[in-house]
Chain A
Amino acid sequence: MTGNAAKSLSVYPVTSAEEATGESILAVIVDNEPGVLARVVSLISARGYNIESLTVAETDVEKHRSRITIVTRGTPSKIEQIKAQLGRLVPVRRVIDVTKETDAIERELALVKITGRGETRVEAMRLAEIFRARAIDTTHNSFVFEVTGAREKINAFIDLMRPLGLTEISRTGVLSIRRGPESD
């Protein structure tokens, strides 16, 4: 702009360009009808946001409601946009910003395959115990561990297993629910 920009009287900054991005967990309650997942996913991807994890399953058989849990990244205003846009979709009943709720529990399940023999195998077993990971498949030269927890715990487990012969990972994506007697 030419000349000196008039100082904003607005209580909000005129530009929102320099907001920091953060991670957000959104739980979306939807009518379980054909195409509903495509609608939700394409809305987010059409706006250029990446979905870091996604879980979906019917949670209320009688009312045909499903719960979709999405982990995505963006600036706070972009996340607000995504929430408002999701709220406009006809089959979407509710959008819960789990990240903003202090009393939300977050869980994820991972299956981790470790191959190897000898010393590293013993070490893998020992670490698995600390993380309360269960060995659900065992051969002479491999394990499959099942581990649940918040994402940081799973990430930490995976990092520790990496040098011990980790060959494959499968993760469910994040689930969330509210603590206490109240429900969403």
Chain B
Amino acid sequence: MTAQRANKEEAAGTPAPAITKAGAELLLDALEEQGVEVIFGYPGGAVLPIYDAIFARDKIRHVLVRHEQGAVHAAEGYARSTGKPGVVLVTSGPGATNAVTGLADALLDSIPLVCITGQVARKLIGTDAFQECDTIGITRACTKHNYLVPSAEKLSTIVHEAFHVATHGRPGPVLLDIPKDVQFEEAPYVSRDQAVMRDCITTPAINDRQISQAVDLIRRARRPVFYTGGGMINAGKAACDALRALARETGVPVTSTLMGLGAFPASDPLWLGMLGMHGSFEANSAMHDCDLMIAIGARFDDRVTGRLDAFSPGSRKIHIDIDPSSINKNVQVDLSIVGDAGAVTAAILSEWRASVKENPVDSGRLALWRAQIDQWRAKKSFSFETSKEVIKPQHAIQRLFELTRGRDVYITTEVGQHQMWAAQHFHFDDPNRWLTSGGLGTMGYGLPAAVGVQVAHPNALVIDIAGDASVQMTMQEMSTAVQHDLPIKIFILNNAYLGMVRQWQELLHGGRYSHSYSESLPDFVKLAEAYGGVGMRATTPAELDEKIKAMIDCPKPVLFDCVVTQEENVFPMIPSGAAHNEMLLGGKVTGDEIGAEGRKLV
């Protein structure tokens, strides 16, 4: 029987008890019902039946990548830029193990993914069969949940539950391991509303008493600050709008983590910039000196808190998070509210409005705090020495930002100094526009993530701000971009170093640059051409703008080799093991900035 016929009968609402289909068809039916538009995948023996089913249908687009890690990062890019779950399809054994880095990345950054892996036939499991690996065991620690699909009969229900788990509560990657014989086995389809799903993820209802406690604390605060994270982005556009309204109506300034950039507009006077190890002086000083910290969808990561026993010692802390295990994990808080960042923020907003209507607040109550923040701002902690001869990496990002202003632009990054400079000098007014590997810090994330973003937003300008070392980790996805007409722009800040490693070696290891020089760099222009893309190079500040404009206008994928100063450091910097008020603000460093304790931390 054909897939079409079965679909028609289901659409007509007939119970159709006799209709059975192969597992591979059931899988695609379920993905279609879940609204999946695109699968990022790579075929192999254990998923051939699924690829056969894909061949016969055209509802779902398949993007063939060049490495399974790239498939997962592309799905992350798709998910982060659309708010919908990303879908990955890979084969058993090496296909699954290649996907592991991407899964771990998605777990730490709470990105909703459904990853389908093939597995050897059920009777071969445990026999060391060809391309067999214990995918469930290997991925247990890097997925939110995983399933070994036991039969075709259970398949569609498990797919529906997998999407539910991936997207509800704190989002994350979910893996389905489907034995090859299950892909052939016949069973009836179970639609989404008929599937008996466990109520496995529940978010508690909003507790009015906690909301009014929060409003009470905000009313009484004289030095308050919002500290928002990736959870705010995950909560969606409406959640970010609620945050904006709440910040403006209360007058409370906002800082965000690396993952949270874009939730609050960088052009707003209440914006403090990013906080943390390479955050702004005003953001970190405000965190240290505040009397009320309102953390929303953020998890007090060590890159944010610095030395824990000196973290914001004088403040009361409110923590709003959907994940109860994030609360009181690193930092004890005074008021914890478990719930969706958007729903809770909206509840606080309406309670605030009711409260000030009844009993207005003194509009001058934050005047001293504002004056203090202005003083910190005046330090201009992101400033750098400019040059007429060589391109400063910070300058390159500034120009990239200025020249892409007003466009529909998405930025992904790799990991290293360029990532921090991008976070400091590229400014976002909207959520979902900034995609970076924050938790795992995965070099090689940005290029495939840009592929995924461009698939979701074909007309947008998608730029991967890259480092010369990181970009080589997943460079082969350039071929994917060319094949699928995805005109991504890869903007390499080429300092010919594993720059962030070199910076740490300079600051912590007496300037011994052990294996951090990028030897034998390829000619990126020729490399781009070899892939069938376009290569460009800028070596002087004078030609930078022209070249960037040419890149923006190019209808093809571009590798842009932006040759920058080699030994620039990212400042400000809170050394490991130091407190927020012990920032290094740049200039010459002596190499003993970091104590022995801090050196042990990473």
Contacts and interface: CB of A to CB of B under 8 A. Distances in A.
B307 A13 contact: no
A5 B313 contact: yes
B353 interface: no
A7 B332 CA distance: 16
Interface residues of B, number: 36
A9 B582 contact: no
A42 B140 contact: yes
A46 B201 CA distance: 23
A7 B310 CA distance: 10
Given A84-B324, A84-B327, A8 B313 contact: yes
A14 B306 CA distance: 13
Contact of A15 (B144, B291, B309): B309
B200 A90 contact: yes
Interface in B61-118: none
Given A10-B315, A13-B332, A14-B311, A87 B140 contact: no
A85 B141 CA distance: 12
B325 A84 contact: yes
Residue from A13, A88, A89, A91 whose CB has the most chain B CB atoms within 10 Å: A88
A90 B165 contact: yes
A11 B145 contact: no
Contacts of A2: 582
A81 interface: yes
A31 B147 CA distance: 13
Contacts of B170: 88
Contact of A11 (B165, B314, B334): B334
A80 B323 CA distance: 13
B140 A39 contact: yes
Given A8-B314, A11-B334, A80 B291 contact: no
B137 interface: yes
B122 interface: no
B375 to A, nearest CB: 18
B328 interface: yes
Contacts of B582: 1-2
B317 A10 contact: yes
B328 A77 contact: yes
B201 to A, nearest CB: 8
B334 A1 contact: no
Interface in B133-170: 136-137, 140-141, 144-145, 148, 150, 165, 169-170
Residue from A6, A38, A91 whose CB has the most chain B CB atoms within 10 Å: A6
B309 A14 contact: yes
A1 B333 CA distance: 21
Contacts of B141: 42, 46
A9 B145 CA distance: 40
Given A38-B140, A39-B140, A90-B165, A85 B310 contact: no
A118 interface: no
B316 interface: yes
Given A10-B315, A14-B313, A90-B165, A81 B329 contact: yes
Nearest to B326: A84
A181 interface: no
Contacts of A77: 328, 332
A109 to B, nearest CB: 31
Interface residues of A, number: 32
B325 A16 contact: no
A77 B328 CA distance: 8
Contacts of A89: 145
A89 B143 CA distance: 11
Given A2-B582, A34-B148, A9 B327 contact: no
B8 interface: no
A77 B325 CA distance: 11
B536 interface: no
A1 B325 contact: no
Contacts of A34: 148, 150
Contact of A9 (B200, B310, B316, B325): B316
Contacts of A31: 198
A110 to B, nearest CB: 32
A48 interface: no
Contacts of B328: 77, 80-81
A6 B170 CA distance: 35
A114 B317 CA distance: 59
B247 interface: no
Contact of A90 (B145, B311, B315): B145
Contacts of A9: 291, 314-316
Contact of A1 (B144, B201, B310, B332): B310
B308 interface: yes
B579 interface: yes
Interface in A23-42: 31, 34-35, 38-39, 42
A1 B307 contact: yes
Nearest to A31: B198
A126 B309 CA distance: 57
Interface in B278-299: 291
A146 to B, nearest CB: 36
Contacts of B316: 9-11
Given A10-B317, A12-B334, A85-B325, A1 B311 contact: no
Interface in B185-208: 198, 200-201
Given A15-B309, A42-B141, A81-B329, A1 B323 contact: no
Interface of B: 136-137, 140-141, 144-145, 148, 150, 165, 169-170, 198, 200-201, 291, 307-311, 313-317, 323-325, 327-329, 332-334, 579, 582
Given A1-B579, A10-B313, A12-B333, 11 more contacts: A1-B309, A1-B582, A8-B313, A12-B334, A15-B308, A38-B137, A42-B140, A87-B324, A90-B144, A90-B198, A90-B201
27 contacts: A5-B310, A6-B313, A6-B314, A9-B315, A10-B314, A10-B332, A10-B334, A14-B310, A16-B332, A17-B309, A34-B150, A38-B137, A38-B140, A39-B140, A77-B328, A81-B329, A84-B324, A84-B325, A84-B327, A84-B329, A85-B325, A87-B325, A88-B169, A89-B145, A90-B145, A90-B200, A90-B201
Q: Which 7 A-B pairs have the closest CB atoms?
A: A84-B325, A12-B332, A90-B145, A15-B309, A1-B310, A90-B200, A84-B324
